[in-house]
């Protein structure tokens, strides 16, 4: 019988990390994970059931994801060689750090922002360095460039729009960072379909730019599909660290179908955008609530007091939000994903009661 001290074997940097907590609930409404509240259109679901045989699930998937890349190339104007498919864009965040950073080197990002930049950096033994956002949740390029220089950062991640604040940072400041930073600027456009703002066309002029996108926010969260558009030299390096079958056959096929017949999903996006405007409007009528402008499919808002209590109250009534209150800049802040009209009405009714 072996009885060795397993924790002795674990890297020190991993021991001190905490597990990323993903809250969930089986009943009620889920407005906590920035998912699309609408299921995939029946036309698409029927098609996948009819074509299941053609997918040859006994075979490994296409390691190159050729069909899906062609569809993405068509939609974005990027070349197939620039595109890498990820098992969610999370995976590409990790690969970027793996190909660019030696242990101890710095990865930078704003604060607050998407937690995975810091978590992934720590898992890889890198140095996460954040630069604070101002009260408008924006930054100025000159102070960011100073921080990047001080740490000799290799990569800066810019969530555009930013999760959890919801806004797009000033284009001019981002532009200046792209032009002056001697490392890689990653524009994480996971919420692009809701903002329609992109730095993609800048890739022709600047070879230090990477664009990441996700299909999780527009209906395929369960299939885990993200993609990156890279300078070809970097795409080649990512292909060295990517596991050869990181994207499964069903995900590749479904994502290709969604992106080639986008009108079906665009209808859902349009409804979400309409509901976002209505939610903002309703939230602005609540005196105990400050809602921040959003370019994404979620809204960050602050309640006057007891954010935790409000969160728990809604949760007990079947509405799950994301409680952001543990972040020092986000005291009493909650994040709500834009749901269906019915879900949003339920959320608003409960919030009105909980804050009155
Ligand atoms: C800014 C940002 N980037 C990336 C991701 C990861 O998306 P995916 O589901 O494609 O891994 C998220 C998910 O919440 C996000 O908010």
CATH number at residue 105: 3.40.640.10
Residue 43, phi then psi, degrees to nearest 5:
-55, -40
Q: How many domains is the chain built from?
A: 2
Q: What distance in angstroms lies between residue 200's CA and the mean position of ligand 1's atoms?
A: 18
- For the stretch 195-222, pLDDT in tens is 999 999 999 999 999 999 999 999 999 9
125 and 22, same domain (yes or no): no
- The predicted pLDDT at position 18 comes to 86
According to DSSP, residue 136 is labeled T
Of 232, 260, 288, the position where a domain reaches its end is 260
Structural domain that includes position 221:
58-260
Residue 211 sits in the same domain as residue 239: yes
What separation in Å is there between the alpha carbon of 272 and the centre of ligand 1? 18
Instruction: Residue 137: name the closest of 301, 316, 303 by CA.
Output: 301
154 lies in the same domain as 249: yes
Q: Give residue 101's pLDDT.
A: 98
Please tell me the distance between residue 191's alpha carbon and the centre of ligand 1 in angstroms: 8
pLDDT tens digit string along 28-58?
A: 899 999 999 999 989 888 988 888 888 899 9
- Ligand 1, residue 214: give the atom nearest the CA: 10
Closest CA to 178 of 227, 229, 144: 144
Beta strands 226-229 and 209-214, pairing class = antiparallel
Could you tell me if residue 146 is inside a domain?
A: yes
Cα(264) to ligand 1 centroid in Å equals 22
Judge whether 327 lies within some domain: yes
Q: 183 and 98, same structural domain?
A: yes
**Using CA atoms, how far apart are residues 110 and 296, in angstroms rounded to an integer?**
17
User: Is residue 39 situated within a structural domain?
Assistant: no
Q: How far is the CA of 115 from the centre of ligand 1 (A)?
A: 10
Residues 157 and 294 in one domain: no
Q: How far is the CA of 212 from the centre of ligand 1 (A)?
A: 9
Where b means 16+ CB within 10 Å and e means fewer, 273-303 reads eebbeebbebbeebebbebbebbbbbbbbbb
End position of a domain, from candidates 203, 235, 260: 260
Q: Could you give the CA distance from residue 298 to residue 159 in angstroms, rounded to a whole number?
A: 14
For position 276, which CATH number holds?
Answer: 3.90.1150.10
Checking if the pLDDT of 233 tops 90, the result is yes
How does 87-102 read in b/e, with b if 16+ C-beta sit within 10 Å? Answer: bbbbbbbbbbbbbbbe
Query: Does residue 208 share a domain with residue 99?
Result: yes
Q: Are residues 241 and 275 in the same domain?
A: no
To test ligand 1's pocket by mutation, which of 167, 214, 255 has the most ligand atoms within 8 angstroms of CB?
A: 214
> Would residue 126 count as lying in a domain?
yes
pLDDT in tens, 237-253: 999 999 999 999 999 99
**216 located within any domain:** yes
Q: How far is the CA of 287 from the centre of ligand 1 (A)?
A: 32
| CA 232 to chain CA centroid, nearest Å | 23
Asked whether residue 47 is domain-assigned, the answer is no
The whole-number pLDDT of residue 241 equals 97
Structure tokens of 302?
């602050």
- Give the residue with greater pLDDT, 18 vs 212: 212
- Whether the predicted pLDDT of 295 surpasses 90: yes
Q: Which atom of ligand 1 is nearest to 162's Cα?
A: 1
Residue-level pLDDT at 22: 80
pTM to 2 decimals? 0.96
* pLDDT of 226 higher than 90: yes
286/150 same-domain check: no
- With the most atoms of ligand 1 within 8 angstroms of its CB, the residue from 22, 89, 115 to mutate is 89
Tokens of 192: 């692009």
Q: What percent of the chain has pLDDT over 70?
A: 100
Which residues line ligand 1 at a C-beta cut-off of 6 Å? 34, 88-90, 114, 159, 163, 188, 190, 214, 216, 226
- How far is ligand 1, taken at its centre, from the CA of residue 192, in Å? 11
Residue 24 has pLDDT above 90, yes or no: no
β-bridge pairing 106-111 and 155-159: parallel
pLDDT bin (cut points 50, 70, 90) of residue 166 is very high
Distance between Cα 157 and ligand 1 center (Å): 12
Ligand 1 centre to CA of 238 (Å) is 18
Does 11 reside within a domain?
yes
Mean pLDDT of 156-163: 98
Q: Residue 48 falls within a domain, yes or no? A: no
Please check the confidence at residue 356 and state whether its pLDDT lies above 90.
no
* 323 and 275 fall within a common domain: yes
Tell whether 255 and 294 lie within a shared domain.
Answer: no
- The closest alpha carbon to 272, from 218, 199, 318, 321, belongs to 218
86-141 pLDDT tens trace: 999 999 999 999 999 999 999 999 999 999 999 999 999 999 999 999 999 999 99
Same-domain status, 242 and 279: no
Residues 275, 340 contacting (CB under 8 angstroms): yes
Whether the pLDDT of residue 26 is over 90: the answer is no
- Give the atom of ligand 1 at the shortest distance from the alpha carbon of 87: 11
Q: Which residue, 196, 229, 260, sits at the end of a domain?
A: 260
Q: What is the pLDDT of residue 49?
A: 86
pLDDT at 32: 96
Q: What residue's CA is closest to ligand 1, atom 12?
A: 190
For a pocket test of ligand 1, which of 190, 194, 215, 251 has the largest count of ligand atoms closer than 8 A to its C-beta?
190
Specify the residue with its C-alpha closest to ligand 1, atom 2: 190
Is there a single domain that holds both residue 253 and residue 280? no
Are the C-beta atoms of residues 193 and 218 closer than 8 Å to each other?
Answer: yes
**Residue 142's pLDDT is what?**
97
Mean pLDDT, range 190-198, rounded to an integer:
97
What is the pLDDT averaged over residues 169-191?
A: 98
> φ and ψ at 27, to 5 degrees?
-115, 170
Ligand 1 pocket test: pick from 23, 88, 215 the residue with the most ligand atoms within 8 Å of its Cβ. Answer: 88
Percent of all residues in the chain with a pLDDT value above 90, rounded to a whole number? 90
280: confidence class by pLDDT, cuts 50, 70, 90: very high
């Amino acid at each position: 019988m072996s009885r060795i001290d397993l924790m002795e074997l674990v890297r020190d940097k991993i021991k001190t990390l905490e597990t990323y907590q993903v809250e969930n609930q089986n009943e009620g409404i889920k407005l906590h994970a920035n998912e699309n509240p609408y299921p995939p259109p029946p036309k698409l679901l029927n098609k996948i059931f009819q074509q299941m045989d053609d997918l040859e699930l006994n075979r490994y998937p296409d390691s190159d994801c050729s069909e899906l890349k062609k569809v993405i190339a068509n939609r974005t104007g990027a070349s197939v060689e620039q595109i890498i498919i990820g098992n969610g864009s999370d995976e590409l965040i990790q690969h970027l750090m793996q190909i660019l950073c030696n242990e101890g080197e710095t990865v930078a990002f704003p604060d607050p922002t998407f937690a995975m930049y810091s978590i992934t950096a720590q898992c890889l033994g890198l140095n996460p360095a954040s630069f604070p956002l101002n009260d408008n949740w924006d930054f100025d390029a000159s102070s960011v460039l100073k921080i990047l220089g001080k740490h000799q950062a290799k990569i800066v991640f810019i969530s555009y729009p930013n999760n959890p604040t919801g806004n797009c940072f000033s284009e001019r400041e981002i532009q200046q960072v792209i032009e002056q930073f001697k490392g890689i600027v990653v524009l994480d456009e996971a919420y692009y379909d809701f903002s329609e703002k992109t730095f993609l066309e800048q890739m022709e002029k600047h070879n230090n730019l990477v664009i990441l996108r996700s299909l999780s926010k527009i209906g395929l969260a369960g299939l885990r599909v993200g993609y990156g558009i890279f300078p070809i030299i970097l795409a080649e390096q990512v292909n060295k660290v990517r596991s050869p079958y990181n994207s499964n056959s069903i995900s590749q096929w479904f994502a290709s179908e969604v992106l080639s017949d986008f009108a079906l999903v665009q209808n859902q996006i349009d409804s979400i955008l309409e509901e976002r405007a209505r939610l903002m409007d309703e939230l602005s009528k609540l005196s105990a609530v400050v809602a921040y402008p959003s370019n994404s499919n979620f809204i960050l808002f602050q309640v006057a007091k007891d954010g935790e209590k409000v969160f728990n109250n809604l949760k007990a009534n079947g509405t799950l939000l994301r409680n952001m209150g543990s972040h020092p800049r986000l005291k009493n802040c909650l994040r709500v994903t834009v749901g269906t009209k019915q879900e949003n009405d339920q959320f608003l009714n409960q919030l009105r009661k909980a804050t009155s």
